Amino acid sequence: MPETDTAAQPSTPAAGGTGSPPAFADAVRDETSLRRFLHGLPGVDAVGLEQRAAGLATRSIKKDSKLWAIDTAISMVDLTTLEGADTEGKVRTLCAKGRRPDPEHPDVPRVAAICVYPDMVATAVAALGDSGVGVASVATAFPSGRSSLRVKLADTAYAVETGATEIDMVIDRGAFLSGRYGQVFDEIRQVKAACGTAHLKVILETGELATPDNVRRASWLGLLAGGDFIKTSTGKVSPAATLPVTHVMLQAVHDWHAATGELRGVKPAGGIRTTKDAIRYLVAVHEVAGPAWLDPHLFRFGASSLLNDLLMQRRTQLQGHYSGPDYVTVD
Amino acid sequence: MSDRISVAKTYKLYLGGAFPRSESGRTYPVTDAGGKFLANAAHASRKDLREAVGAARTAFGKWSGATAYNRGQVLYRVAEVLEGRREQFTAEVAASEGVAVEQARTLVDAAVDRWVWYAGWTDKLATVLGAANPVAGPYFSFSVPEPTGVVGVLAPQRSSLLGLVSVLAPVLATGSTAVVVSSRERPLPAITLAEVLATSDVPGGVVNLLTGSAAELGPWLAAHGDVNALDLTGAPAELRAELEAAAAGTVKRVLRVPPTEPDWTEPPGITRLRSIMELKTVWHPMGA
Amino acid sequence: MTTWEYAPAPESRDIANLKPGYRMFLDGEFVEGGGEPLKSINPATEEVLAEVSTADRDDVDRAVKAAGRAQERVWGPMPGAERAKYVYRIARLIAERARELAVLESLDNGKPIRESRDVDVPTASAHFFHHAGWADKLDFAGYGPDPRPLGVAGQVIPWNFPLLMAAWKIAPALACGNTVVLKPAETTPLTALVLAEIIQQAELPPGVVNVLPGAGDVGAAVVGHPGVHKVAFTGSTDVGKSIQRSLAGSGKKLTLELGGKAANVVFDDAPLDQAVEGIVNGIFFNQGHVCCAGSRLLVQESVAEEVLEKLHKRVATLRVGDPLDKNTDVGAINSREQLTKIQELVASGESEGAERWTSPCPVPDKGFFFAPTVFAGVSQAMRIAREEIFGPVLSVLTFRTPDEAVAKANNTPYGLSAGVWTEKGSRILWMADRLRAGVVWANTFNRFDPTAPFGGYRESGFGREGGRAGLEAYLDV
């Protein structure tokens, strides 16, 4: 079957999954409306944005509020392995870690999800059992997204069929940057339909979008098309998540909620390695989006090494002295 | 000696581009240095001054908004017309100041040359006084000089033309507009200069010239709420402090001028230009 | 914990090295003054921080004479390159003692430690660093060859940026070869006296800088002293006018940096989220105790509702409280007197019919605090649109066209600063050209730098501080 057919089709809001809310029915009527809407969003001044992000990053989170932040951050981690060298053994170890991050401290919350490639979904599902930890799978020709829609949909379907509860898709950055917003919109729509009940996270790959204006437009595009989450990065492109970019996305879900009453989530991924970083993100969540977003249903960290630093800092907080890397498990 | 009876000129005020008499109807006799009657000059009142400030304010927008190149051309045109009236000015300066015709001619030539010098400043001020500020951050910051607005000038009492040109031309070069009270005893070259301005391309209201008493008009000028800067060169010494104090009421820029009239033939420098300009600093972020 | 409360994160007040008593700095020595000692109060707690000796007329006379001697014999004749090294030392010593200065400033002034730490102290150091380099380059500053200093500079500074204003005044004066008699504000003398200590540590010759605390009478004595050749004042327009009046006929060179009622103009195509940040920074930075504060928001009618909504949400996140807490955004009002003035003007806004919105944030019971307040439906005729409130109170007005925005923005006797928010480049430059203000911030607000001249139009004063233009105030040109 030739692939050109789908891209050429006009967007149809009723394509399945979450339809665009009535507030934005006009915005997604056709390619022209969509373009007009996205380009009509207020601009983002890069310097002002960075200044605000840097200002908020000076918040000093201590004592109880720090411990709360650490536990909240742990519960928001999508513990991730996305390597060509991934094996079932590696995935099982990661799942064990996600279920019980600190074996000596059972009160440590479990992580939100384990994030793997589609062929590892079944292994993760089996390893996690009824722990409540979700299984997220990247899909849609991750990380570049350079394949046919048919392959992307098949990739998604494979992950969902093998038990993924969350799908992390990539948008077609090439299409976005050349202004083919309708095509990106349609792809997200169709992937969303292929997800069924699985949650959809839409990876914008902000490092390739380059400007905060593009990030804002792509965020709204992802929300309009029905993404449950908008996610910064694949982790394979530098820069990955940054605080200013996350600010723009948090502002977008905040504004989306103000306009529609719907709560959508944000997931920064890549480059967040320390507790200090994570707390800065949580402060941004708290003060830019709002306290309601301090919840794993609405905010996630895509990370691998972050978890151990959180665990180490947690011990430090509780024990009153600095901990060391040998007291947390290497997985 | 010709037996023709000359046509005597009525000397009037120059106000908003027109030549009215004083609203008060007052005049005062002007004599030459030897005491011989020359003419009656209009004796401007505080209401004339009020009109003059209003005209100067109205003219400010267009004059300050003109391009520097255009202002330069307009002012240069004034010098051209001045040049054509050298004989008349020489006679008036000689009579007013009581100097020999030769010296009067030198003073008139210097006045024309000074006007040309200031005409050339219009499009150089921003380069010389402005700056790109290398601020420590992702911002482009620049500073540009701007004209302050309406400048009140008490013109020199002794130097009837060169002195007047030396205080008036810098006001015009910066883009401000002027309300000038001329020398009381020697006002005729000032009125003739007004005629030159009226017949060149300087828009009406940019220069408003009142003949009369600095002592009488000075306090009104210094206290006027719509005057931005004050040049007290021709103020009576005993009134100067009082006028400066009155200027404080609306935080006017008061030029630092020497206590006695300087030698106007000396090169002027740019202090006068600088002190009637504001500096505006603009910031904008630099980001993609 | 169901909601995330930030635990208190106070900076330790011990870092300030607070002493029970401070003495004035005269001719290189810390000495008791002849005036009645004043008590400096922590506005966040109303407790007395320290007792500070004040100057009397004899002290002023001694200080001016010491400054005169130092200027004539040592500082004036000294090669610029040598003066530069002294001023560089001051810059470095401020940076070294930055934390101490920041905590002391927040204790004495009430401003949040975040601001004293990130703005006041580093900018003060930067001012000395920048001006140090001018000391041996004055020939190239555009004031002719070998421009001469004026002599003794009498300087009177306000309480809103106590250390930073001292730096703005002292640094260019020293670089140009003048000596200084500085009077810090009555309610905030402490950091200026620690700066004096730094100047002593930097081994500046005695008399080059003198710091005389006291009230308005000391300031008047300093500016009126016949041995003072240059006067620089930052403060209210009323006091500025009286200084200008008192100096009439004296021949002293004067620069004034006075009040303001800046318009912050937001067009419908502005980057709205950053504009909201700029509005917040413009009026709530330093509790609104900023002469160039963006106290009048002029917003285009088509986005007024949206901007106001975003503004309320954002302002509600501002944390009001202990100035020493690193998470405090808005600290204490500097004095009871100032708080009373703010309350009085806010009451006038309500009685004149403006719609008041005040942040629901918690406010401490003790100390001088005022919750961030936004007035909507303000018209040009109301007092809150015309008078400088000098507090965390914003007046919101609307406009329809660029011409109307300019007309309203300029409709004030002041002219210190203005803000413009639009993504359209040509409109920014058009606005910047027409706004009658000494500083125009486009798509940003409240930026300061030692290289960028700062100062007002009209009743906001005259003369500039910073950059090449700022040197003029301290040179006989």
Count of CB contacts below 8 A, B vs C? 120
Closest in B242, B250, B280 to C438, CB measured: B280
E strand or H helix that includes residue C39: strand C38-41
Cβ–Cβ below 8 Å for C242 and B244: no
B138 in contact with A at a CB cutoff of 8 Å? yes
Q: Which two tokens stand for residue B221?
A: 């000028």
Check CB contact under 8 Å for B143 and C461: no
Selecting from C241, C250, C454 the residue whose C-beta is nearest the C-beta of B251 gives C241
**DSSP per residue over B29-96, as a string?**
EEE-TTS-EEEEEE---HHHHHHHHHHHHHHHHHHHHS-HHHHHHHHHHHHHHHHHTHHHHHHHHHHH
- Answer yes or no: do C284 and C433 share one domain: yes
Of C145, C115, C128, which Cα lies nearest the Cα of C180?
C128
A7 pLDDT exceeds 70? no
**Residue A9 included in any domain:** no
pLDDT at B8: 85
Q: Could you tell me if C142 and C251 lie in one domain?
A: yes
Whether C449 sits inside 8 A of B278 (CB atoms) is no
Which residues of chain C does B244 touch, with a Cβ-Cβ cutoff of 8 Å? 244-245, 247-249
For residues C234 and C371, membership in a common domain is answered with no
Which residue does chain A place closest to B140, by CA atoms?
A47
Query: C437 in a domain, yes or no?
Result: yes
Domain ranges, residue C58:
13-258+457-474
Q: Point out the residues of A that are catalytic.
A: 168, 231, 267
- Chain C's closest residue to B246, CA to CA, is C245
Flag whether pLDDT at A329 surpasses 90: no
Return d(Cα A236, Cα A232) in angstroms, integer.
11
| Same domain flag for C202 and C278 | no
Residues of chain A with pLDDT > 70, as a percent, come to 94
Q: What is the token pair recorded at C353? A: 């019919």
Interface of B with C (CB under 8 A): 128-129, 131, 133-137, 139, 141, 143, 148, 228, 240-245, 247-251, 253, 256, 259, 269, 271, 274, 278-285
B190 three-state secondary structure: helix
Query: B77 to each of B111, B147, B201, B264, B286, how far by Cα in Å?
Result: 14, 21, 7, 22, 42
Q: What confidence category does residue A16 fall into, taking pLDDT thresholds of 50, 70 and 90?
A: very low
pLDDT digits (tens, 9 = 90+) for C90-134: 999 999 999 999 999 999 999 999 999 999 999 999 999 999 999
CA dist B279 → B145, B273, C242, C257, C471 (Å): 4, 12, 24, 13, 13
* A57: closest chain C residue by CA: C327
Tokens for C28, please give them.
């290189």
Please tell me whether residue C232 adopts helix, strand or coil conformation.
Answer: strand
If you ran DSSP here, which 8-state letter would residue C391 be given? S
The structure tokens listed for B92 are 């008036």
Residue A208 within a domain:
yes
CA distance A142 to chain C (A): 32
CA distances from B22 to B45, B56, B109, B213 (A): 7, 17, 31, 13
CA distance, residue C196 to nearest chain B CA (Å):
27
Dihedral of CA C164/C168/C170/C175: which sign?
Answer: positive
DSSP output for C166-216 = HHHHHHHHHHTT-EEEEE--TT--HHHHHHHHHHHHTTPPTTSEEE----H
Summarize the confidence of residues A309-321 as an average pLDDT.
Answer: 94
On whether residue A23 sits in a domain, the answer given is no
> Which CATH number goes with the domain that contains C246?
3.40.605.10
Secondary structure letter of residue A124 according to DSSP: H
Q: Can you list the domains of chain B with their CATH numbers?
A: 27-285 (3.40.605.10)
CB C105, CB C191: distance < 8 Å:
yes
Taking the Cβ of residue A282 and every Cβ of chain C, the question of whether any pair is shorter than 8 Å is answered with: yes
Measured between beta carbons, the chain B residues lying within 8 angstroms of C431 are: none
**How far does A240 lie from chain C, in Å, by closest CA?**
23
Q: Which of C198, C150, C197, C146 shows the shortest CA–CA distance to C173?
A: C150
Q: How many domains does chain C divide into?
A: 2
Q: What string of DSSP letters covers C55-93?
A: --HHHHHHHHHHHHHHIIIIITTS-HHHHHHHHHHHHHH
pLDDT at A9: 39
> C168 and C142 in one domain?
yes
- CB contact, 8 Å: B285 with chain A? yes
Do C398 and C370 lie in one domain? The reply is: yes
- Are C370 and C463 in the same domain? no
What CATH number does residue C304 fall under? 3.40.309.10
| Residues B227 and B155 sit within 8 Å (Cβ to Cβ) | no
Q: Which B residues 83-102 touch A at CB under 8 Å?
A: none
Do the Cβ atoms of C401 and C247 come closer than 8 Å?
no
Place of tokens 């969902």: A160
**pLDDT tens digits along C12-62:** 999 999 999 999 999 999 999 999 999 999 999 999 999 999 999 999 999
Q: Check B251 against C459: CB less than 8 A apart.
A: yes
- Give residue-wise pLDDT tens across range A242-278: 999 999 999 999 999 999 999 999 999 999 999 999 9
Decide if C449 is inside a domain: no
Q: Which chains have 3 or more CB–CB distances shorter than 8 Å to chain A?
A: B, C
Alpha carbons B283 and C355: distance in angstroms, whole number: 32
Contact residues, chain C, for B131 at CB < 8 Å = 453, 467-469
Six-digit token string for B182: 């001329």
For residue B129, the distance in angstroms to the closest alpha carbon of chain A comes to 29
Name which of A39, A41, A45 to mutate to probe chain C: the one with the most chain C Cβ atoms within 10 A of its Cβ. Answer: A45
Q: What is the CATH number of the domain that holds A124?
A: 3.20.20.70
Choose among C270, C279, C276, C234: nearest CA to C416. C234
Beta-carbon separation of B286 and A211 below 8 A: no
Q: Indicate the number of domains in chain A.
A: 1
Q: Give the pLDDT band (50/70/90) at residue A19.
A: low
pLDDT confidence of residue C23:
98
- Residue range C169-173: average pLDDT? 98
DSSP reduced 3-state for A323: coil
Distance CA C359, CA C375 (A): 11
First to last CA, chain C: 66
The residues, ordered by sequence, that sit 6+ positions from C257 with a Cβ below 8 Å of its Cβ are C233, C234, C235, C291, C416, C454, C455, C456, C460, C461, C463, C465
Instruction: With respect to residue C180, please indicate whether it lies within any of the assigned structural domains.
Output: yes
- Taking CA atoms, B95 is separated from A155, B111, B112, B114, in Å, by 103, 17, 19, 22
Query: Can you tell me the distance from the alpha carbon of A325 to that of A316, in angstroms, rounded to the nearest whole number?
Result: 12
Residues of chain B with pLDDT under 50: none
Range of the domain at A38: 31-323
The pLDDT value recorded for residue A14 is 37
Chain C interface residues (partner A, CB cutoff 8 A): 1, 3-9, 114, 118, 269-274, 277-278, 317, 326-327, 423, 443-444
Tokens 């040359």 belong to residue: B113
* Nearest-neighbour CA in chain C from A230: distance (Å): 19
d(CA A40, CA A27) in angstroms, rounded, equals 10
Query: Nearest C-alpha of chain C: how many angstroms from A245?
Result: 13
| Residue A145 forms part of a structural domain | yes
Task: Name every chain B residue with its beta carbon within 8 A of the beta carbon of C458.
Answer: 228, 250-251
User: Residue C168: what pLDDT?
Assistant: 98
Chains in contact with C, counting 3 or more C-beta pairs less than 8 Å apart as contact = A, B
Quote the CA–CA distance of A18 and C477 in Å, as a whole number.
Answer: 73
**In angstroms, rounded to a whole number, what is the distance separating the alpha carbons of residues A216 and A235?**
19
Residues 6+ apart with CB under 8 A from C141: C134, C147, C468, C471, C475
CB contact under 8 A, A251 and C5: no
**Co-location of C301 and C166 in the same domain:** no
Mapped onto helix, strand or coil, the DSSP state of residue C21 is strand
Give chain A positions within 8 Å (CB) of C422: none
- Residue A295 in this model has a pLDDT that exceeds 70: yes
Cβ within 8 Å of residue B235, ≥6 positions away: B154, B214, B215, B218, B243
Instruction: Give the pLDDT band of residue A1 (cuts 50, 70, 90).
Output: very low
**What would you measure as the largest C-alpha separation in chain C, in angstroms?**
69
Looking at the fold, whether C175 and C206 belong to one and the same domain comes out as: yes
Is the residue at A4 inside a domain?
no
Report if residue C210 sits inside a domain.
yes
